[in-house]
Amino acid sequence: MFFSQLFRIATLLVAALSISSFASTELIDDGGRRILSSEEIVSPEENTPRVASISTFGAELSLALGIQPVAVSAYPNTFPTYLRSLESVPSLGSRARTSFEALYNSKPSIVLGLERMISPYYQRYAEIAPTYGFDLITLEDSLRAVEVGSAALGQYEQGKRINQCFLKTLDNMKQQIVQSEGDKPLTGMFLTSAGVTPRAYYSDFMTVSLMEGLNIQAANGASPYSAKTPFSGQVGLEWLMKLDPDVIFMYDSADPQFTQSKVWKNLSAVKNQRVYRVDMTWREAEGPYSRLWVTMDIAHKAYPDLFAAPTLAKVEEALCLAH
């Protein structure tokens, strides 16, 4: 299982770089819309695209490409450390309730964001500027969105480089773990439920893919569904005890009832104090900054003797930023 995961991660780069020439290949977003070239989007008097971001993905991609976004959806509470520069960017309100007045006033030349947020109101977005959405659930989604989104912003080669640097960082960290800990992976689960019954993300979910890339095998395995959603499922307490993962990650905002049960208290991860509380950045770790930050956070929590806590400087170094 572990070595098949290594092979999967290694081959992702090939998939990410599969579009050899976007000039001769029609790119589409995850809603099936043709993506215009940057020359078609940016007016002659503008030097760079004016990017509005529905969710933080488009803003993250813009920053990684050296472009300051002109508007971004509000983030719950405050922006995470690696996105503090977005605090001064005009807000579009909640990503689920975009203020179209604020979007219009920001005068974007392109809108990027989550497909599930854009799709219901696509016509309203498109009346303001060319708008593109991405699914952003799996690791493959992240790689594709960075590459295709970068092409739309006129920096296709830099987008490929960002993906290359990310995968190289993940591989280097994985090799450090294997050399130090051996090639037998830990088992782990990323729980999302705050109710009576535990609920865990499947292995194809972005953050769990990052866990597996760091030698933490998803104890509950892959999704039984052919579609990418739902990306989590219930795990009964008896089944959780049978799986008995080495490490457990769960949101720090959760206060689930099942943690009071005898089954929970008898889990190896609980008895060994290997239950790690994480913030909501782990839920959507698909952007160039967030996927590196969460990767480094996973590594620090699971292997504290090998990896320090993430910092913005470390993330930017791993991005291979050219600007």
pLDDT digits (tens, 9 = 90+) for 32-44: 999 987 777 776 6
Query: What CA–CA distance (Å, rounded) separates 295 from 103?
Result: 32
CA 319 to CA 222: how far, in whole Å? 29
Q: Where are the alpha helices (DSSP H) in 86-184?
A: 100-105, 115-118, 122-126, 139-152, 156-181
Residue 134 CA to residue 145 CA, distance in Å, equals: 6
Residues of the chain with pLDDT > 70, as a percent, come to 90
What is residue 306's DSSP assignment?
A: T
Dihedral of the CA atoms 78, 190, 267, 187 (nearest 10)? -130
Q: Do 127 and 148 form a contact (C-beta atoms < 8 A)?
A: no
**Span of 143-147, 151-155, 193-197, 214-218 with lowest mean pLDDT:** 193-197
Using the predicted structure, report yes or no on whether residue 283 has a pLDDT greater than 60: yes
Above 90 in pLDDT, residue 70? yes
Average pLDDT, the chain: 90
Q: Model pTM greater than 0.85?
A: yes
Residue 136 has pLDDT above 70, yes or no: yes
Reported confidence tier of residue 253, pLDDT bands at 50, 70, 90: confident
Contact 192, 199 (CB under 8 A): yes
What is the structure's pLDDT at 7? 46
Q: How many residues does the chain have?
A: 323
Task: Choose between 108 and 8: higher pLDDT.
Answer: 108
pLDDT at 6 over 90: no
What integer pLDDT is reported at residue 176 of this predicted model? 97
Report residue 278 as tokens: 């994480």
* Contacts of residue 48, Cβ cutoff 8 Å, sequence gap at least 6: 42, 67, 154
CATH of 172-318, one of 3.40.50.1980, 2.60.40.10, 2.160.20.10, 3.50.50.60: 3.40.50.1980
Does pLDDT of 24 surpass 50?
no
* pLDDT of amino acid 254: 79
Residue 259: how many other CB atoms lie within 10 Å: 16
CATH class in words for 2-161: alpha beta
| pLDDT tens-digit series, residues 206-228 | 999 999 999 999 999 999 998 89
Q: CATH 3.40.50.1980 region(s) of the chain?
A: 2-161, 172-318
122-136, 168-182, 202-216, 253-267: the lowest-pLDDT one: 253-267
* Residues 6 or more apart whose Cβ sits within 8 Å of residue 160: 16, 17, 147, 150
Is pLDDT at 323 greater than 60 in this prediction?
no
